[in-house]
Structures are given as C-alpha cells and as structure tokens.
C-alpha cells in the first residue's frame, strides 16, 4: 500500500512585459521574482544539496516562463531589486535618525534579505530562473506542469483555440525548460466534459480539479460544446460509488487521462487568510505599507483589526510561529491519511494545491514554512512525491464522469463569464471565427504569413483568463479592459494585413508600405523579442505546423524592426534614430496622464537620464493600457537641423489607433 503527499504549486502571471509598470504591469513580475520565485528556488536547491528526499509538482505557465526568460525583464528586475535595497537602506538611516530602533532593525533585515536575493539571482542562478527550475526537473525533485499558452479559460473557448492554447503552451514549456510535460494545470482548474479527449491528443496524461467536480451534481446550467460532441456511451458512463474519495486519482470518462482532486480541508488550512495560517497574528501584514518607502513594518495583529491599528512586526516571533504551524500541518497530513486508511483502505494520494505567489509574496513567511514541511515529511513520512511519480507507481483504475466547472466561486464559470465580461466573450468568439476564415484562406506569401502569425499571437493574448478575472474582481479592471482591447485591435490590424496586404484607413498599398506596416509589430508587446533570435513570445506559434487547426508559420528573423509607421512616415522626424529623448520624463507623463509638453532636444536632459531608450518604444509599450486617455496627448518637440517639427502621438481611450502627424511650424 502506498500513501503519499503531493504538494502542487501553480505559478502564473499574465503577460505584462512592457505593458505599464506600476501599479499594474511589469512590476507584477518583478515583485513575484523577488518575493516568491527567488526564495522558492533558493529553498528547493538548498534541500537538494542537503540530500533531503523530496518531490513536488510545480506548474509554470508559458506566459510566466516567457517573461522570466526575457532579457529586458531581467535588466529591469535588477533595477527593481536595487531600488528595494535603496529604499531599505534609506529607511535604516531615517529610523536611526528618528530613534526608532525597532523599525530600524526590520529595515536592516529587509536590506540584508534583498541583497541576498540579488546575489542569488546573479551568482547562484546566473540570471536564469527558468534554468534553475529545469535543473530541479532534471534531478527528479520537481515535476513541471504545462498550461494553456496564455492561461485561456478553455471551457469557454472554441475547439480550435483550445488546441492552439495547448499546442503552443506545451511547446513553449518544452523549448524553454527542456522537459516533456505530461501533466497540465488547467487554467482556473476549469473543465468541461470532452476536454480530456483533447488533452489526450496533445500527449497530456493528468490534470488537477476541484473536489466539487467529483460529486456528479451539475454545477453549470448548460453543458459545453465539448460534451455534446462526445459519444452516447461516454455521456451515459455511470458515476462510481466512491466519487467522494478525494485521495484517489481517477481516469476521466473513457480516456486515459487522470484527474487528481485537491483536498479542500487540508488545502484550506493554508490558503484561507481568515482561518488558515497566513492569518496568524505574528505574521507580516501584507496590506499596510510605509508611506515613504512602501516597505512593510507591521504584523497581522488580528484579521479584523483595521490597518491603522496594526502592531509592529517581529521577524523572530514570526519564525517561531512558522515552526509551530509546520509541525501542525505535517500532523494534519498524517491524520488525514490515517483516517482514509481506516475508512477506505488501499493506496492514497493526499494532494494540496496553491498559487505559488501565495508563498513569500502574499504570505511573507510561507517559503520558510514550506521548507519545514518538506523536511518533516521527508524525515518521517508520508513521502512527498510528485504526481507523475505516484501515478507511475500506482496507476489509476477507476473511472469518473467528471462534471463541468472550475475552482472559482460556486465552482462554475461566473467569476470569468458574467454581465460585466459578456462583451469580452462575444468579441473573442468573433475573433475566433475570423481566425477560422483566415486559416481556411491559407496565406502563403511570407509577408502575409508573418501577419497571420501575429494575429494568432494577439488572439492567444486576448484569450487570457486574467482579463475577465480582473474585471470581475475589480482589482485592475481598467487595466484589464485596455489590455484586452489593445490585443483585439492588434489582432484585427494583423488580420487585415494577412488578408489584403493593407490596413484599414491607410489609403495606400504596395510592397513598401505593406512591409512597413508589418514591421510596426516588430517591437510590439506581443513579440517580446530580444533582438538576437533566441527568444520571442510564443516562438512556437506554429513554426512546424503543429496542428492543422493552427496557422502554418516559419521562423521570423525580422521580429525586432522598429515601427516605421510611427518613426519615419513621409518626413516625420525619425525619433528612433534620435536617442536623446528623456525617457524618464516621458514615462512620468505616460503614468500621470498629464497633458503637457516634454522638451527633448538632441542635446538636452542628458544629465537627467537614468536609462537609455526611445520615445517610440515608450509610447508603443504603454499604448492601449489606459495610461493615456482621449483628452491627454503626448507632444514631443524635437529640434532638427532643417527646422522644427512636432511629432504628436495621440492615443485614444479605446486604444483604437496611434495617430502620427508632422506639423510644420
């Protein structure tokens, strides 16, 4: 008899490279690297080096690893880390001057911690976090799960898009991590009957589900199209009697794909901020920050206490509670398995699933807690195994008629599909039909194939489940709406180029203009290229014809060309070649949405610049993400030897267009 414990972490961030910084945008990635991925990797590598016998399962979504492998994000993360160190050092001096020794010691703790993480990033992991995860996979300590390319909500997508999400996602995992993923984290744990057959077509053998989907009670009012396409015998498959046993993997319907349910009670001991460990009084309070530095100096105190009444944080006191809670959790795992042994007998796999970002970022002490738990289980059992290893030892033999649903509120689709997001799903359905028409047309000449490939990328990015989620929860609704609209706009511009070789409203045609408009996407958010041909977002958007339902494409060596439509259209000042633009001041204008002039002459503001860059890049990176509104145009004066011109970049609120005008003074 085999009894095992499976710890499953789901790591995901939406694609935010260059799409704003703060409060919404790329800084999400920087925060997660510093708060979660670096501490987590440090722990797992330490345990391996010390000979601790552990295995865990980690899902790394394609959009996340694309960003972790991006050289621009790498450089900007170092800047972010240096900024956090500077803030901590400044706080040390401030609190010493104020005589606040208690808070000063915490500031020194932060400064030391951030320096250690920075050193680990540069030296231990050689600025390659993707490689650090891959190393753990090669030694068998970590099982890597793939996911949908952009974390698309699969039950609400058309069949061709589901194939695209899975094919591109799996290939991205294989390319960047060097592993052949067999397991998948279904985005939002969202399942519809028949999806198991599509997973099997893509070589995937197991996924994770919410326990409620084992119960046989329909959670969604109307079945998805996948279910209606299944055979009658599949639909009539009887429910097994032990469907309430969540400590057992099940084959799904007539497939060879296995579903593993998370254990609600044991998982809830961690993820619940009100009843779980993170709500402990001694742990650091996430929501209260210092007004000047943004660092956190307070503890939870009580989950019902207002932020203004929070008491000072003590890392030492928190560390004591971490050890206590780890012992309690290990005991709970053993008790749960013992209870299952008495009631059911036989093999048992106790599975808990969490978002990786809970540990370190949201729950500051969480990574330390993980370390204590893994050491405790490795020493005295039950064995912490990867799900793949457990299934290798104990193949699933019972079948279940899994019902449609998700791990969202009420276990249905309402968190993502509701009155506030209905327009998104309508637009996605229309875009999918248009992509289907393009797929049938099969563009063959290279320029149109390039445009078709870009349309495929933009459709994938628009399908991210993050956009409707952020709208529903209100966490970053405006940002999500503008991101969705910008990808929909780029999709339709790419689609027109792929169909006709011209874009609506240009009034021009011909190979020169066509090629120039294609290059407009060269430094687009959706490409994420590094200029050396080694990395581009979704390089795998079907370079080998992955599936007949995808656009057939080839490698693109021209993905870093600058947008000629903006930079050099019929006499408009070539801002791309004028590398003297004060990008920092431009960024401030973009962030604040101020309607002001930014003077950026060839020789001006050099002393003020902290980063080199191009105005064109900044405008394009912020285009369509709500940082400029209809009433706020950014005007940049550029002195030119032949006279003075004004290049005006106006971005309307819907992100429908970028207008570039050259005005003679």
Residue tagged active-site, from 26, 66, 70, 188? 188
Q: How many CB atoms neighbour CB 630 within 10 A?
A: 10
According to DSSP, residue 353 is labeled E
Q: How far apart are CA 406 and CA 355, in angstroms?
A: 15
**For 202, phi and psi rounded to 5 degrees?**
-95, 15
Q: How far apart are CA 534 and CA 233, in angstroms?
A: 48
Q: Is residue 188 annotated as part of the catalytic site, yes or no?
A: yes
Residue tagged active-site, from 290, 355, 389, 584? 355
E strand or H helix at 170, and its extent?
Answer: helix 159-177
Q: 659 by DSSP, 3-state: which?
A: strand
Q: How far apart are CA 65 and CA 590, in angstroms?
A: 28
Best CA proximity match to 413, nearest among 357, 469, 362, 375:
469
Does residue 611 contact residue 9 with C-beta atoms inside 8 Å? Answer: no
- In a 13 Å sphere around the CA of 446, the CA atoms on its Cβ side amount to 8
Encode burial over 465-494: b for 16+ CB neighbours within 10 A, e otherwise: bbbbbbbbeeebeebbbbbbbbbbbbbbbb
Does residue 435 contact residue 456 with C-beta atoms inside 8 Å? Answer: yes
Angle at alpha carbon of residue 527, lines to 521 and 533, rounded to 5°: 110
- In a 13 Å sphere around the CA of 438, the CA atoms on its Cβ side amount to 30
Q: 9 by DSSP, 3-state: which?
A: strand
Q: Beta strands 3-11 and 56-60: pairing type? A: parallel
What residues form DSSP beta bridges with 7?
Answer: 352
Best CA proximity match to 6, nearest among 110, 142, 179:
142
Q: Beta strands 183-184 and 643-651: pairing type? A: unpaired
**For 333, phi and psi rounded to 5 degrees?**
-60, -45
Does residue 496 contact residue 539 with C-beta atoms inside 8 Å? Answer: no
Q: How far apart are CA 267 and CA 654, in angstroms?
A: 41
Residues belonging to the active site: 188, 355
């Amino acid at each position: 008899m085999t009894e095992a414990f499976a710890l499953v972490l789901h790591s995901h961030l939406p694609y935010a490279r260059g799409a704003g910084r703060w409060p919404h945008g790329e800084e999400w990635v920087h925060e997660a690297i510093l708060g979660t991925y670096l501490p987590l990797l440090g722990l797992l590598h330490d345990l391996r080096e010390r000979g601790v016998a552990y295995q865990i399962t980690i899902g790394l979504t394609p959009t996340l690893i694309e960003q972790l492998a991006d050289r621009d994000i790498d450089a900007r993360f170092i800047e972010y880390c240096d900024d956090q160190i500077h803030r901590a050092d400044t706080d040390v001096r401030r609190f010493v001057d104020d005589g606040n020794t208690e808070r000063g010691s915490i500031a020194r703790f932060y400064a030391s911690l951030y320096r250690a993480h920075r050193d680990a990033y540069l030296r231990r992991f050689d600025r390659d976090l993707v490689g650090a995860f891959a190393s753990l996979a090669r030694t068998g300590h970590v099982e890597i799960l793939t996911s949908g390319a952009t974390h698309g909500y699969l039950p609400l997508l058309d069949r061709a898009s589901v194939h695209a999400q899975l094919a591109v996602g799996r290939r991205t995992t294989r390319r960047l991590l060097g592993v052949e993923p067999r397991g998948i984290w279904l985005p939002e744990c969202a399942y519809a009957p028949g999806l198991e057959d599509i997973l099997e077509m893509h070589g995937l053998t197991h996924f994770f589900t919410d326990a409620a989907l084992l119960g046989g009670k329909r959670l969604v009012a109307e079945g998805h199209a996948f279910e209606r396409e299944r055979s009658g015998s599949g639909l009539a498959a009887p429910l097994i009697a032990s469907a309430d046993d969540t400590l057992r993997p099940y084959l799904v319907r007539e497939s060879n794909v296995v579903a593993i349910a998370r254990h609600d009670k044991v998982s809830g001991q961690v993820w619940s901020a009100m009843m779980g460990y993170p709500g402990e009084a001694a742990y650091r309070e996430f929501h209260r920050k210092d007004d000047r530095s943004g660092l956190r100096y307070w503890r939870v105190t009580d989950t019902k206490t207002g932020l203004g009444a929070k008491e000072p944080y003590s890392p030492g006191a928190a560390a004591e509670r971490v050890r206590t809670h780890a012992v309690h959790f290990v005991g709970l795992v053993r008790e749960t398995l013992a209870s299952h042994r008495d009631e059911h007998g036989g093999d048992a796999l106790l599975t808990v699933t969490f978002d990786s970002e809970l540990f370190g970022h949201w729950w500051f002490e969480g990574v330390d807690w993980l370390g204590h738990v893994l050491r405790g289980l490795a020493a005295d059992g039950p064995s912490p195994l990867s799900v793949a290893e457990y299934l290798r030892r104990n193949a699933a033999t019972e079948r279940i008629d899994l019902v449609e649903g998700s791990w969202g509120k009420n276990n249905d689709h309402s968190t993502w599909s509701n009155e506030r997001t209905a327009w998104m799903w309508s637009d996605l359905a229309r875009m999918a039909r248009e992509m289907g028409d393009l797929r049938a047309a099969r563009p063959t000449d290279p320029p149109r194939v390039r445009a078709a490939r870009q349309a495929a990328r933009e459709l994938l990015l628009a399908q991210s489940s993050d956009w409707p989620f952020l709208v529903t929860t209100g966490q970053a609704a405006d940002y999500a709406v503008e991101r969705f609209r910008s990808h929909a706009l780029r999709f339709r511009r790419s689609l027109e180029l792929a169909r006709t070789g011209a874009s609506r409203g240009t009034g021009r045609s011909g190979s020169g203009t066509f090629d120039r408009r294609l290059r407009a996407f060269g430094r687009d958010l959706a490409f994420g290229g590094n200029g050396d041909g080694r990395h581009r977002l979704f390089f795998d958007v079907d370079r080998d014809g992955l599936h007949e339902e995808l656009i057939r494409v080839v490698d693109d060596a021209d993905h870093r060309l600058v947008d000629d439509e903006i930079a050099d259209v019929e006499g408009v000042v070539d801002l791309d070649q004028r590398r003297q633009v004060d990008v920092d001041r431009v960024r401030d204008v973009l962030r604040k949405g101020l309607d002001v002039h930014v003077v950026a002459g060839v020789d001006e503001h050099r002393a003020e610049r902290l980063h080199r860059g191009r105005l064109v890049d900044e405008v394009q990176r912020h285009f369509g993400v709500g940082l400029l509104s209809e009433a706020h145009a950014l005007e940049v004066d550029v002195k030119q030897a032949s006279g003075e011109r004004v290049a005006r970049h106006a971005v309307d609120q819907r992100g429908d267009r970028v207008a570039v005008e050259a005005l003679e003074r």
